[in-house]
Chain A
Amino acid sequence: EVQLVESGGGLVKPGGSLTLSCAASGFTFRTSNMNWVRQAPGKGLEWVSSIDTSGTYRPCPQSLKGRFTISRNNAKNSMYLQMNSLRVEDTAVYYCARGDSSGYTSWGQGTLVTVSS
């Protein structure tokens, strides 16, 4: 069974940093493209970043202005999202998702990041 488990969310002050992790199991992680998608409370889905099997990543949307960096460790079946200079508007549930851009076939349960003073 495919499982994606996010961790690392929590409460952080504006300007702070946080690193999210996604632990994968039940499939061959090293041959899977991976992604982060977020959802602000009561809002829609927003793509954050993607990383392919070789570790090549797609830059975050301009709205994130390079504050977020995606990475992966195939030996640990894990993906990460380093988030810097966090803003109140970054408050959201962050989902880890498997698949290429044609469709994200598996999703984790999400981890909540709250940015507040």
Chain B
Amino acid sequence: DIQMTQTPSSVSASVGDRVTLTCRASQGITTSLAWYQQRPGKAPRLLISGASTLQSGVPSRFSGGGYGTDFTLTISSLQPEDFATYYCQQADSFPITFGQGTRLEI
């Protein structure tokens, strides 16, 4: 199974900050990576697929990058609604696996 490791596990930031979250795969997955946002008590929301393709309706302040084993999710200017937990997910092979999440706190 491919292990996904997210760093940091939590991060504190302020409105307007630029923040970058990291996800590392235990083996190369080309660009087969998705990012999700989950607010407390809510279902996850797909932000990015294919490592860098922004989903429809997702604000342009979100961007993704990376290839192989190392990936990033960047939020260019944090808004109050962005404080949530973010998960990466590898789409390279079954079983599908998620990272443990990064909690973004005010």
User: What residues make up the interface of A, taking CB atoms closer than 8 Å to B?
Assistant: 37, 44-47, 50, 58-62, 95, 99-105, 107-110
Contacts and interface: CB of A to CB of B under 8 A. Distances in A.
Contacts of A50: 94, 96
Contacts of B1: 61-62
Contacts of B101: 44-45
Interface residues of B, number: 24
Given A95-B43, A102-B50, A103-B55, A44 B97 contact: no
Q: Is the interface of B mostly helix, strand, loop or mixed?
A: loop
Given A58-B94, A100-B91, 8 more contacts: A44-B99, A45-B38, A47-B96, A47-B97, A101-B32, A103-B49, A103-B91, A107-B43
B19 interface: no
